[in-house]
């Protein structure tokens, strides 16, 4: 999991839609983040990498490493999505005042 959140910052609202569009391209429509009825928002990004913090349904956090490719349904896709433990998510949301 992420050991250093110091390089993370809140994503301005005007950039969230573009990052969410890229996330959908990379993960594909069948990824569990995008199941019907799910509300997904990108809240923060790591300025030291291409990682973004995605919050699903206001309570589940995922860190996704964007590759900036268009390969969502490709089995060799290297986009990584990792569930953030609850305590770590609580720390980060407090640090960023989300």
Residue 17 lies in a domain: yes
Domain count, the chain: 1
User: What gap in Å lies between CA 72 and CA 35, rounded to an integer?
Assistant: 15
Phi and psi angles of residue 92, each rounded to the nearest 5 degrees, phi first: -65, -45
pLDDT one-digit tens code per residue, 27-62:
877 778 887 778 889 989 999 888 999 988 877 888
Residue 33 lies in a domain: yes
Residue 1 lies in a domain: no
Partners of 10 in beta bridges: 44
Give the domain extent around 21: 8-95
Whether 68 and 15 have beta carbons less than 8 Å apart is answered as no
pLDDT one-digit tens code per residue, 61-98:
888 888 887 665 555 555 677 778 776 777 777 777 76
pTM above 0.85? no
Cα 56 to chain centroid distance, Å, stands at 9
Residue 43 lies in a domain: yes
């Amino acid at each position: 999991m992420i050991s250093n959140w110091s390089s993370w910052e809140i994503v301005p609202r005007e950039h969230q839609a573009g990052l969410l569009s890229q996330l959908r391209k990379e993960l594909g429509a069948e990824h569990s983040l995008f199941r019907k009825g799910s509300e997904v928002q990108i809240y923060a990004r790591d300025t030291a990498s291409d990682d973004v913090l995605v919050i699903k349904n206001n309570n589940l956090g995922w860190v996704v490493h964007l590759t900036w490719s268009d390969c969502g349904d490709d089995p060799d896709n290297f986009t990584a999505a990792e569930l953030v433990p609850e305590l770590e998510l609580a720390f980060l949301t407090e640090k960023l005042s989300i």
